[in-house]
Amino acid sequence: GRMRSVKDLPSYPGWLPVIGHLHLLLGYEEKKLWTVFKQICDEATRRGGVMAFYLGPSALTFVSDPEDVQLVSRYCQEKHYMYDMAKPWLGNGLLTADTATWKITRKVMNLAFTPQMLNGFMSVFNSQAQRLTTQFEDNPERTFVPHTMLTINNLETICLTSIAFDPQKHKELFERYRVAISNIFALLVQRFLRFWLQSPFIYKFSKLKTQTDMVIKDLHNLSNTVIQKRKAIIESKEHLVKEDQFRPLMDIILELSKEKGLSDRQVREEMDTIIFGGHDTTANTLTFALMLLGSDLEKQEKVYQEIIEVMGHSDRDVEKEDLLKLVYLEKVIKETLRLYPIAPAFPRVSTSELKIKTYTFPAGSTFVVDAFNLHRHSVWGPDAEEFKPERWEKLDSWPKEYMPFGVGRRTCIGKMYAMMSMKISLAHLLRRFKVTSDISKLTLKMDSLLRPESGHVITLELRK
Ligand code: HEM
């Protein structure tokens, strides 16, 4: 058939000259952002799986059909300028780096994210899961929103494993860091949504910039201090490390940095990026998993029976060997990430001409991969909306219609870390408690991630 140009693309209703669809984003509110975003994604699906949404004059093309998503993930490596808004904090760390820089640093970082390193983290994952279980048990309420406890636990874990910062020893500093990190994203998203502030000139004189700069200064101070201290420790002592022994990521990266010529600043940017990438991602996924299992007691029982089969009726730590045997639990986590991909969409920019359906896109076009709808595409079958961990028995381990950890080469570096830590947390929690909840009451919101907004209460019953 005849190829058409971008101008012929169906466009989302409500387009206005000059500003395009930006006015739809006005009135910043996380819940609204998710509502608008979901409407755009759903409309794109209705319009045949490819549709434009205009940020001013520049089009974002939404795609959610498996073949189109494949093309975009293969041919569009460059990140969108909206990532630049996080650069004052994360600099050229993996997440925000331009492709040329990323190619070099990702190779170095891959050398740190090894199975040995993860095995060394098992003790931290286990003690953090024990801690969480105790907190749930000590909570005076049997029915409560677990989200804050999960989020704090998640941040503690990433601080321990990445920079060996122990929140129990530095309670005040940790609390300051926790508040700063929860503020920074709200501030960055505000800049994006108050689109006039995207202009560096206007932004320069705004109150938002003053606020943001202060928070970033705090965040940088903390990571700089911790890194410098650690560097001194490493250099002052003989560093004998046994295999499988815990070593924070930073040690490995500091070592590699000498070999590979990373500056102190680069080390800081990578550590800040790791902490950002891992600070509440597993917490959100765990909240969704508890909601799903709490609303389906039959499947929860199946998980429980598996845990008992593998670990017996003890409260011992989860060992490396156990992880491989907790196969149904793994399916539960995958299915949770299918229905609730915490990163529901990824913007990417093409570096060459690209043909999608009947349209020809020039280099420099922006696509938004809509993972939320991809995960509900008809290829998943008529029960795509249902929580069915069993479906994974018949699927490839990572089918191409499944992208909870991102697209193309710039996928999540923390995927194995996340799977391991979530498995361990759930094994500890689910053998101690029976969870009930009502997922039909769950509402969602979005800032940098997809999060529960309300209705995410759970009720715990201690298992005998
Ligand atoms: C359930 C847990 C997690 C999910 C669903 C998840 C998802 C993702 C996704 C979708 C991306 C790609 C983002 C994009 O294209 O812009 C990504 C990138 C990244 N994630 Fe994760 N993530 C998780 C946990 C973690 C953890 C625990 C860490 C750190 C230990 C981490 C560190 C990173 C980093 C550094 C990147 C940038 C990678 C690069 O561009 O090279 N993530 N993650």
pLDDT digits (tens, 9 = 90+) for 26-35: 766 666 788 8
pLDDT digits (tens, 9 = 90+) for 382-432: 999 999 999 999 887 889 899 999 988 899 999 999 999 999 999 999 999
pLDDT digits (tens, 9 = 90+) for 179-210: 999 888 788 878 877 878 888 889 999 999 99
Question: What pLDDT was estimated at residue 190?
Answer: 81
Asked if residue 410 has its Cβ within 6 Å of ligand 1, the reply is: yes
Asked if residue 389 has its Cβ within 6 Å of ligand 1, the reply is: no
pLDDT digits (tens, 9 = 90+) for 134-156: 999 999 999 999 999 999 999 99
Asked if residue 282 has its Cβ within 6 Å of ligand 1, the reply is: yes
Question: What pLDDT was estimated at residue 128?
Answer: 98
DSSP for 281-347, written as a single string: HHHHHHHHHHHHHHT-HHHHHHHHHHHHHHH-SS-PPPPHHHHHH-HHHHHHHHHHHHHS-SS-EEE
Asked if residue 414 has its Cβ within 6 Å of ligand 1, the reply is: yes
- 242: pLDDT strictly greater than 70: no
Question: What pLDDT was estimated at residue 244?
Answer: 61
- The whole-angstrom separation of Cα 326 and Cα 323 is 5
Query: CB–CB of 275/160 below 8 Å?
Result: no
Give the closest residue (by CA) to ligand 1 atom 37: 95
Question: What pLDDT was estimated at residue 396?
Answer: 78
Give the closest residue (by CA) to ligand 1 atom 35: 274
- The whole-angstrom separation of Cα 280 and Cα 294 is 21
Question: What pLDDT was estimated at residue 10?
Answer: 94
Which tokens belong to 162? 């990445």
Q: How many residues does the chain have?
A: 464
Portion of the chain with pLDDT greater than 70, in percent: 97
Give the closest residue (by CA) to ligand 1 atom 43: 412
Asked if residue 413 has its Cβ within 6 Å of ligand 1, the reply is: yes
* Nearest-atom index, ligand 1, CA of 102: 41
Q: Which residues of 111-127 are buried (b: 16+ CB within 10 A; e: fewer)?
A: ebbeeebbbbbbebbbe
- 313: pLDDT strictly greater than 70: yes
Give the closest residue (by CA) to ligand 1 atom 6: 405
- The whole-angstrom separation of Cα 126 and Cα 316 is 9
Q: Report how far ligand 1's centroid is from the alpha carbon of 406 (Å).
A: 7
Give the closest residue (by CA) to ligand 1 atom 36: 412
Query: CB–CB of 278/162 below 8 Å?
Result: yes
Query: CB–CB of 172/166 below 8 Å?
Result: no
ipTM surpassing 0.95, yes or no?
Answer: yes
DSSP 8-state class, residue 11: B
Q: Report how far ligand 1's centroid is from the alpha carbon of 345 (Å).
A: 13
Q: Report how far ligand 1's centroid is from the alpha carbon of 414 (Å).
A: 6
The residue that leads in pLDDT, 132 or 76, is 132
Query: CB–CB of 130/425 below 8 Å?
Result: no
- The answer to whether 76 is a known ligand-binding residue is no
pLDDT digits (tens, 9 = 90+) for 334-387: 999 999 999 999 999 999 999 999 999 999 999 999 999 999 999 999 999 999
The structural domains of the chain, ordered by start, are 4-462 (1.10.630.10)
Model-wide pTM > 0.80: yes
